Amino acid sequence: MAEDEETATARYVASNISTQLMLKTIIEIISTMSDDPDKYRTRLETKLFELADTMPLAAMTPTREDKVRAFVRETINTVLTNSRPN
């Protein structure tokens, strides 16, 4: 049985959030093993932004490409937000 649009959208959003949470957890584990976790996250963020801006994408309109790259940058910001434990 096919899912309705609302259920499919909820599943898609939940999948994206789950992936971001897993990435955030992995990055936090790795960064805490470094000498300077904040510096590690900053360098990683810089490299990921460079990739997000230059990685070749499938053929699409320039407007869609801009939206895709903006969403990637937003995701990088979300995953690499520096948070300090209390």
37-62: pLDDT as tens digits = 989 989 999 999 999 999 998 999 99
- Please compute the mean of the pLDDT values over residues 68-81 and round it to a whole number: 88
pLDDT of residue 63: 94
> Would you state the structure tokens that stand for residue 21, as one six-digit string?
């949470």
Q: What is the pLDDT of residues 15-25, one digit of tens each?
A: 888 888 888 88
The pTM of this model reads 0.71
Distances (CA, A) of 52 to 3, 4, 7, 76, 84: 32, 32, 30, 9, 26
Among 25, 27, 21, smallest CA distance to 48 is for: 27
- CB of 82 within 8 A of CB of 34? no
Q: Round to whole Å and give the CA distance between 8 and 13.
A: 9
Among 81, 78, 61, smallest CA distance to 16 is for: 78
- The pLDDT confidence band at residue 86, using thresholds 50, 70 and 90, is very low
